[in-house]
Amino acid sequence: MKSKIMRLVTFGFLAFGITACNIGVNAPQAPNLNDAAATIVAQTLQAATESAAKGVISNTPAPFSSPVPPTTSAPVLTINDPTNCRSGPGTNFQLITAFNPGTKLTILGKDTADNFWLVQLPKSQDTCWASGEYATASGNFASLPDVTPTAGAASGVPARPGSLFYQWIGPCSSLTTTLNWADNANNETGYHVYRDNTLAADLPANSTTYTDVTNVPVGATITYSVEAYNADGASAQRSISFACQ
């Protein structure tokens, strides 16, 4: 019996001790949901800031603009009305040829003061001057040079021959070439024909054709040139080149 009483006393002391330990201690409270959400947002923003500071690349692609190269177009003269093309920028120069409406010509130069364009003849290296009054220029012609024409109709030197054309017949060992050009001069003494810069013929005034026979190696290139001349000098030359095959 005594032993049982002692166990009850001991249990009582233990219970009192446990109760005493809890005196003045507040019970834990449930977390506030608004405060928790704010904490998460703040932590997320802080992490993003630290990533940017460390050079972390964003997955969002930066806007990209492909460079556009500048576009330029060759200067072209489009003929609007039937137009004469002359050896110089003016109606006092010799007539070389004429163009129909719709013809497109490559512009090589200009005479701004007289509103004339220096153009290249189609399928030829020859040139002539066309009036801008009957044509329209387009493309990048602003930077073209102003060209001063050489002596021509206004002086005693004959006008340059018109477009030069040729036909040839082989074999190359006996190459026969026929040349044809326009007689644009009205004061020439005659015409000189050159083969590879060597005088091949001295023709009378008003000549418009010449046939030459020569021997050239197969595959060699031959060049013919024609000029009008008189006592005051010679005109600019017309030239053509081709290879004998």
Mean pLDDT in consecutive groups of 10 residues from the start of the chain, 245 residues: 51 49 48 52 54 50 52 86 86 79 94 90 88 92 78 68 93 95 94 95 97 95 95 90 92
Partnered with residue 20 across adjacent β-strands are: none
End-to-end CA distance of the chain: 144
- Whole-structure pTM value: 0.41
76-138 in CATH: which number?
2.30.30.40
pLDDT score at 96: 82
Cβ–Cβ < 8 Å for 229, 189: yes
Burial bucket for residue 224 (CB in 10 Å: 0-12, 13-18, 19+): buried
Q: Closest by alpha carbon to 87, among 201, 227, 210, 223? A: 227
CATH superfamily of the 165-243 domain: Immunoglobulins (2.60.40.10)
Provide the residue ranges of all domains of the chain, joining segments of one domain with +: 76-138, 165-243
- The helix/strand/coil state of 113 is coil
Residues in the chain: 245
pLDDT computed for residue 90 by the predictor? 77
